[in-house]
Chains A and B, each alone.
Chain A
């Protein structure tokens, strides 16, 4: 009954080789987020979409891009991965509006390794 699905679970890429991580949701939520989490640290927000509106965090490197072709899918593209980009990438969704909806639903994450 997974509601936020991230593929693949583990991804290995080479230094400088573009990589795409995917996220899909069955919740029909307006908002989708991408977080980067390094080694048991706090997740760090990279960007989020509110419907089609893209919102980049000020300190997100240009190397990171995102696409949201429709409500259900969102992709994280890393154009030229460096060793420092090895991390867990977490996708999350939410549906703001109304107290009952105030929470994020997270996928299981994609663990990215850069060789």
Chain B
């Protein structure tokens, strides 16, 4: 079965500093990996995906993620965090039945 792990429950950074949210994956075959963001009392919003191609994927709101096959990682990054980036972030992997399995989530807090 496909799965992802987010090793950090919380990430705290100061505004303007780089932000990294970690994700590792375990799949059989080629991984289809995603990042979603959830603001309070809202549904999930798609940020970016890795299906194939370049290991550096660029997404919405200035976020990017690096696919690293040797480390089985797909970390989300933003060079300069904003207070408005404070939210809950989920890494996810798609399985063969078109279903997404989510990581436990990482709460990001960006302080002014």
A107 to B38: give the CA distance in the assembly, Å.
11
In this complex, the interface size class of chain A, counting residues with CB under 8 Å from chain B, is: 20 to 34
Selecting from A13-21, A37-45, A69-77, the interface stretch reads: A37-45
> Which chain A residues in 74-115 approach chain B with CB under 8 Å?
88, 90, 92, 94, 96, 99, 102-109, 111
Is the beta-carbon distance between A106 and B43 smaller than 8 angstroms?
A: yes
Question: How big is the B interface, by class?
Answer: 20 to 34
| Residue contact A109 to B43, C-beta cutoff 8 Å | yes
Partner of A41, one of B45, B46, B101, B105: B105
A40 to B107, Cβ gap below 8 A? Answer: yes
B46 contact set on A, CB distance < 8 A: 103-106
Q: Are B99 and A102 in contact (CB under 8 A)?
A: no
Q: Which of B78-112 contact A (CB under 8 A)?
A: 88, 90, 94, 97-105, 107
Interface residues of B (CB under 8 A from A): 32, 34, 36, 41-46, 49, 51-52, 88, 90, 94, 97-105, 107
Could you tell me which A residues sit within 8 Å of B by CB distance?
A: 4, 6, 31, 33, 40-43, 45, 48, 50, 55, 88, 90, 92, 94, 96, 99, 102-109, 111
